[in-house]
Chain A
Amino acid sequence: MTLSRWMTAATPVAAATAHAVLEVEPAAWRDLASDIAACGGRLLALWGSCAADGARLSAVALTLPRVLIVHVPLDRGDGAHYPSVADFFPAAARMQRAVYDLTGVRATGEDARPWLRHAAWPAGAFPLRDATMPPPPQEPVDDYPFVRVEGDGVHEIPVGPVHAGIIEPGHFRFSVVGEKVLRLEERLGYVHKGIERRFTELPILDGHRLAARVSGDSGVAFSWAYCQALEAMAGVAAPPRAVWLRALALELERAANHLSDLGALGNDAGFAVGLAQFSRLKEHLLRATEQALGQRYLLDFVVPGGTRADLPVAGGRALERCIDELTAEVAVLRAIYEEHPGLRDRFSGAGTVAPELARWLGLVGLAGRASGQPLDLRLDVPHPPYEALQVRRCVHEEGDVLARVTIRFEELTESLRLARTVLGGLPGGEHALQVPEPAAGSSAVGLIEGWRGPIVVGLEAGPGGSIRRCHPQDPSWHNWPALEHAIIGNIVPDFPLINKSFNLSYSGHDL
């Protein structure tokens, strides 16, 4: 079967030409997922809703050049369930477990262990389940058995949730023989703070602030994706100057994170000079960003209808000077990293995810591009102003720490170039316009390529300017499972380096 029969049934979205909406019955969801996977499509997001009129599963799939938004209505009865699609998209397994934890709607045949719910709220209570819905038949268990590896000399190393550094919390269970890692099992959910329920308590015109704080290092990307969805629902388009300023902010965010990671990766491989140099450059960039756009971290810059502030002339010039300085300095540091035998030795061959495995696991973003997965939403689902910016795609095949370092160098250089281009070609006019409240029941999806990978925000309006449902999906959902594969066969002391080379979000994942 091919995808075309589904696409003819899908409804195009007027406000976003690449988007199409399709509603399918639970039984057809598996067939559709199978066809999407067979055609090389990607599952980008999956979430559940549970209102008084019934439960619903929603998904965003990428079948280039289309973005397919799928809704699967589920019955109101207590036995509501849907077929698992984790055998087509392995990353869906944890998403489906999260759907159960939050709504009580179960995928058939899935791992029954809770994922986002530890034991902090009562078993049988589902934070996103409508109060009038009957409770689901199965009671969740609070026991969480890790998969045991047995054999001579195998022992377990539990790490976390509190880690030995300035890092977010999460638990890692290593099964090792000597120094060699046989298996890693992740247990996340420690920073689950109820973001999706919190959204429903905020006015829809104010939700971008919470979106920016889903994962603080991706604030621009999340708030832009939120505003993209909101503006599509309200039938307005942010003015040209606003979208150029948003692109400037997004590329500065990408550059700042890459600077930070490149320093930390050098440090984790024993090259402290790298951390000192890159953290110095990052501080320069943050100060120039604050001078130009008003904040070191642009968590409040993207607002519905445009941007919070315009770019002052002096700030723009300071930013240009900073970008020029950074471009020159990064070139010097890149040569140092490339010629350093110790760094090459530690980076090369560590934490490899081969392209075939990456494709199967659905690895996305910069880690995906380091493993031969070329997806970059700036190019593949272009939106203003990226059609005009001619982004250079960076792809490598090796899939090791070195490849992820190389991608960061290339994308950092490219982001600095893009930021400079935006500053040189910024159109005139307003930087924001008023956005009316979208009609109750309207919904849309926002898609932005954040520094880590594709960021999805699914938004649905409730009555009176409220949010009925908002689901932010961080690319970490796709890449955390790949880290479990990347570490196999490596030694325990290389884990911090390999982990850092992915640098995944805990907060963005745990919600």
Chain B
Amino acid sequence: MLKTLRQIIRTGIVTEPAPAPDEALLVGEALERTIREILGRALCIRQVDAGSCNGCELEIHALGNPLYSLESLGIRFVASPRHADLLLVTGPVSRHMEVALRRTYNATPDPKLVVAVGDCGACGGLFGAGYASLGAVSNVIPVDVVVPGCPPSPTRLLQGILTAITGSRAHIAT
């Protein structure tokens, strides 16, 4: 117990300070303000892997680490689409996941936002479309924002989420 406390104290707060020249946190601060204005303190995200190679999931996980500290910005991942404001979808959408993705989308209450993640979510990526793959997320459900990258960095993902709640449909975060 003492060791644990010592480690926590020794580590301190590592979340990168707002004025630091780190893009992630500058975006983060703006994001928190926007979320407060629009959604009143909380944005709930449901992540859906619709066929990804799991690379994008690794970077989505990183959003929760203490350096990006997504939860401290008022954003959290939820277990059910019924609790979600935003779907964060990785692709390419496999034909086997098409029904599950549509059902998840339909179970998410309106108004809802969809962010397609990664080169595969954007356009099918290296996998493309074929007998088992439908390619881009937008081939299956309406998409508001696309965050390309293979995989996109946590900073890009934050930018994408910000763009979704402030911007217009089909805007591409670059």
Assembled-state Cα–Cα distance A362/B66 (Å)? 39
Interface centre among A191, A194, A215, A217 (most CB of B within 10 A): A191
**Is B62 a contact of A286 with CB atoms below 8 Å?**
yes
Contact with B along A251-288 (1 / 0, CB 8 A): 00000000010000000000001011101101100100
- Count of interface residues, chain A, beta-carbon cutoff 8 Å: 53
Closest CB in chain B relative to A273 CB, distance in Å = 6
**Is A168 a contact of B79 with CB atoms below 8 Å?**
no
**Is B79 a contact of A169 with CB atoms below 8 Å?**
no
Taking residues whose C-beta sits less than 8 angstroms from the other chain, chain B's interface range is 35 or more
Query: Can you give 8 contacting A-B residue pairs, CB < 8 Å?
Result: A164-B80, A165-B77, A166-B57, A216-B151, A279-B62, A280-B66, A282-B62, A339-B3
Using known A-B contacts A165-B79, A279-B65, determine if residue A193 contacts B92 with beta carbons closer than 8 Å: yes
Assembled-state Cα–Cα distance A157/B84 (Å)? 24
**Is B60 a contact of A169 with CB atoms below 8 Å?**
no
| B62 CB contacts on chain A under 8 angstroms | 279, 282-283, 286
**Is A191 a contact of B97 with CB atoms below 8 Å?**
yes
**Is A279 a contact of B56 with CB atoms below 8 Å?**
no
Interface centre among A193, A299, A339 (most CB of B within 10 A): A193
**Is A213 a contact of B55 with CB atoms below 8 Å?**
yes
Assembled-state Cα–Cα distance A162/B58 (Å)? 17
From 372 to 416 in chain A, residues with beta carbon under 8 angstroms from any chain B beta carbon are none
**Is B79 a contact of A215 with CB atoms below 8 Å?**
no
**Is B66 a contact of A276 with CB atoms below 8 Å?**
yes
* Additional A-B contact list (19), CB under 8 Å, known A166-B60, A216-B58, A273-B7: A118-B96, A121-B131, A165-B79, A166-B47, A189-B96, A190-B94, A191-B51, A191-B96, A195-B127, A210-B126, A216-B52, A216-B53, A216-B56, A283-B65, A299-B151, A332-B3, A506-B54, A507-B52, A510-B94
**Is B3 a contact of A296 with CB atoms below 8 Å?**
no
Assembled-state Cα–Cα distance A190/B51 (Å)? 7
| B131 CB contacts on chain A under 8 angstroms | 121, 125, 127, 194, 197
From 271 to 315 in chain A, residues with beta carbon under 8 angstroms from any chain B beta carbon are 273, 275-277, 279-280, 282-283, 286, 296-297, 299
B interface residues, Cβ below 8 angstroms from A: 3-4, 7-8, 11, 14, 47-62, 64-68, 77, 79-80, 92, 94-98, 100, 104, 125-128, 130-133, 150-151, 153
Using known A-B contacts A164-B79, A169-B100, determine if residue A279 contacts B49 with beta carbons closer than 8 Å: no
Q: Choose from B77, B96, B150, B153 the contact partner of A190 (Cβ within 8 Å).
A: B96
A209 at the interface (CB under 8 A from B): yes
A175 at the interface (CB under 8 A from B): no
**Is A209 a contact of B126 with CB atoms below 8 Å?**
yes
| A147 CB contacts on chain B under 8 angstroms | none
A352 at the interface (CB under 8 A from B): no
| A446 CB contacts on chain B under 8 angstroms | none
